[in-house]
Amino acid sequence: MNPSFAIIGCGRIAQRHAEQIARFGKLAAVCDIVPEKADELAAIYGAKAYYSIEELLKSEQELQVLSICTPNGLHASHAIKALEAGNHVLCEKPLCLNTKDGKQMIAAANKAGKKLYVVKQNRYNPPVAFLKDLINTGKLGKIYSFQVNCFWNRPAAYYTSWKGTKELDGGTLFTQFSHFIDLLYWLLGDVADVKATGKNLAHPSIEFEDTGAVLFEMESGAIGSLNYTVNSFEKNMEGSFTVFAEKGTVKIGGQYLNELEYCQVEGITQPELSKGNPANGYGFYKGSMSNHDKVYENLMRVLQNNDHEFASAEEGLKTVEIIQKIYNHI
């Protein structure tokens, strides 16, 4: 299988997608409303550059997959257009910015008979995969409580163009920390209730909170908290997930859930895990672990075998639902 891909949106994250598409298929086309960005990425990979998604979809009839790398608030409209044109879609996180849009995206995929997937690369972090296995196999027993900390740095210079706007960015939980919300759901199940508070303490130019605190009650009965900020001084400090359970306590830490910091589990010696990939580097700031190689490896598998597990649009929508619950309290 050598599928033909197109990328919509040629910003920094598009570079990660293009690198992996070149490994597994052909990057036939790219699109950006800024011609210079489209032209630059197209030149690197021998793709055709377009400056509107409508033009691309009209001209490129042999595509199999479109990767959506545009600002958050445009994911829904771009994905729906791609699905209606008969393409599978891989959408960067978050899936969208509200549940109404997410349901319309899923409906468009179902109507077209095409697949809609969302990027959730932190699931492939070695410590995260280890914790998932402990939970799935019952080795931790009943989950009592949890604590999630997201202490990152985003200076004022980060918030240019669409970043920092409610319409296209959506909020700190959508852009910086939606992966942590995804892991909360993926590891521990659905959220029954939340209480939350948040403030913008250090970024007067943006339209939403830069700091927040959330209390959760899960449908399982477990309780926990999320503390997050983008005001860590000068650099990312911590991205951690701690679980307190009947048969063990586990903390995944580091700057971006990349280290198994603590593992006291009945009958288990703390393992030596692979280091995994480095963080995504974006010039003067860093993001999550760079696992787009794993994303595309598994995308190729699921395109050939529908039973293969991959982050679905429905799971992406669940992340959006939980974030909306939190923002309803802020």
Annotate the chain with three-state secondary structure.
CCCEEEEECCCHHHHHHHHHHHHHCEEEEEECCCHHHHHHHHHHHCCEEECCHHHHHHHCCCCCEEEECCCHHHHHHHHHHHHHCCCEEEECCCCCCCHHHHHHHHHHHHHHCCCEEECCHHHHCHHHHHHHHHHHCCCCCCEEEEEEEEECECCHHHCCCCCCCCCCCCCHHHHCCHHHHHHHHHHHCCEEEEEEEEECCCCCCCCCCCEEEEEEEECCCCEEEEEEECECCCCCCEEEEEEEECCEEEEEECCCCCEEEEEEECCECCCCCCCCCCEEECCCCEEEECCHHHHHHHHHHHHHCCCCCCCEHHHHHHHHHHHHHHHCCC
Q: Which CATH number fits domain 123-287: 3.30.360.10, 3.20.20.70, 1.50.10.10, 2.60.120.380?
A: 3.30.360.10
Confidence of residue 270 (pLDDT cuts 50, 70, 90): confident
Residue 124's pLDDT band, with cuts at 50, 70 and 90, is very high
Domain with CATH 3.40.50.720 in the chain: 4-118
CATH 3.30.360.10 region(s) of the chain?
Answer: 123-287
pLDDT, one tens digit per residue, over 209-236 is 999 999 999 999 999 999 999 999 999 9
Model-wide pTM > 0.85? yes
CATH number assigned to the domain with residue range 4-118, chosen from the 4 options 1.10.1370.30, 3.20.20.450, 1.20.210.10, 3.40.50.720: 3.40.50.720
